[in-house]
């Protein structure tokens, strides 16, 4: 008989570049009462879906009653195959993951970027209102994007203007996406999803391009001076 009713080793689940469950380690003995609590977006539902073999893990291992959730999934789902059965009541619910853009944001600039929001839950979300919560070094113009419906597994790509402070440091910074929505019964919910945005300084060519107007003025002035000199010689 297995020592643990449930055991996970570095269990991980990713949706694109978003990590919903990161290196989870659990050891729960048979008969033990274990509370599995956490805020919205913490990965509770995703963990339960992996343990009940509804979705495969990206990395790591897990076993239920000694049976591997990937290699022996049929035993995990079968009451007859084991003296232990994992019964989890998971209420249908929409949950969200935000997927960051591939391109880095430039320091000291207003960046127009795509953010992809994916419904990683098990219920359709309706009348979504999606905004970016400004956290230094980012700011926003308060734009709210609207999506009529987002079914489980579906995603929507939305565009936002994200200025980056000129004093920001190069690296990755966290920004939070706020989602207000309704379930199919009209009940209102709110959720958040974090994503990491890469921040880099402007390249030399980008910096020079930002001063095109100064170059244009200098060229115009040089042309006028040369023209006056030529006129004076006549």
pLDDT band for position 88 (cuts 50, 70, 90)? low
pLDDT at site 203: 66
Residues 114, 18, single domain; the answer is no
174-207: pLDDT as tens digits: 888 999 999 999 999 998 888 888 888 876 555 5
Per-residue DSSP letters for 1-55? --S-SEEEEEEEEEETTEEEEEEEEEEE-TT--------TTSSHHHHHHHHTTSS
Question: Which of the listed residues 18, 44, 77 is the one where a domain comes to its end?
Answer: 77
Element (H, E) at 213: helix 212-233
Residues 195, 136, single domain; the answer is yes
Residues 131, 180, single domain; the answer is yes
Residues 100, 164, single domain; the answer is yes
Residues 107, 165, single domain; the answer is yes
What lies within 8 Å, CB to CB, of 230 at 6+ separation is none
Query: What is the separation of C-alpha 232 from the centre of its chain, rounded to a whole number of angstroms?
Result: 67
Residues 108, 197, single domain; the answer is yes
Look at the alpha carbons of 148, 154, 158, 162 in this order and tell me if their dihedral is positive or negative. Answer: positive
User: Could you tell me the CATH number of the domain that includes residue 45?
Assistant: 3.40.50.300
pLDDT at 173 over 80: yes
41 vs 24, more confident: 24
pLDDT band for position 126 (cuts 50, 70, 90)? very high
Residues 52, 127, single domain; the answer is no
91 lies in some domain? no
Residues 121, 197, single domain; the answer is yes
Q: How many domains does the chain have?
A: 2
Q: Average per-residue pLDDT in the chain?
A: 82
Burial of 38 (0-12, 13-18, 19+ CB in 10 A): exposed
pLDDT at site 54: 80
Question: pTM above 0.85?
Answer: no
CB neighbours (10 Å) of residue 69? Answer: 25
Let me know: does 191 contact 95? Beta carbons within 8 Å: yes
Let me know: does 118 contact 127? Beta carbons within 8 Å: no
Residue with tokens 């990965």: 43
86 lies in some domain? no
The residue segments making up the domain with residue 20 are 6-77
233 lies in some domain? no
Residues 104, 186, single domain; the answer is yes
User: Could you tell me the CATH number of the domain that includes residue 100?
Assistant: 2.60.40.10
């Amino acid at each position: 008989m297995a020592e643990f009713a449930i055991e996970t080793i570095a269990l991980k689940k990713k949706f694109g570049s978003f990590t919903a469950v990161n290196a989870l380690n659990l050891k729960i003995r048979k008969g033990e009462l274990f509370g599995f609590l956490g805020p919205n977006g913490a990965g509770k539902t995703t963990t339960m879906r992996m343990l009940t073999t509804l979705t495969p893990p990206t990395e790591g291992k897990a076993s239920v009653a000694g049976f591997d959730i990937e290699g022996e999934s049929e035993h995990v789902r079968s009451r007859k195959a084991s003296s232990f059965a994992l019964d989890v009541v998971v209420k249908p619910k929409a949950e969200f993951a935000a997927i960051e853009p591939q391109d880095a944001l430039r320091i000291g600039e207003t960046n127009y970027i795509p953010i992809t929001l994916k419904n990683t839950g098990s219920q359709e979300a309706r009348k979504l209102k999606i905004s970016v919560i400004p956290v230094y070094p980012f700011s926003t113009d308060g734009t709210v994007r609207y999506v009529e419906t987002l079914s489980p597994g579906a995603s929507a790509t939305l565009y936002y203007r994200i200025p980056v402070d000129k004093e920001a440091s190069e690296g990755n910074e966290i920004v939070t996406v706020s989602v207000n929505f309704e379930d199919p019964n009209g009940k209102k919910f709110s959720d958040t999803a974090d994503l990491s945005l890469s921040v880099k300084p402007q390249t030399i060519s980008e910096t020079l391009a930002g001063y095109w107007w100064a170059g244009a003025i200098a060229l115009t002035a040089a042309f006028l001076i040369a023209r006056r000199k030529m006129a004076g010689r006549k």
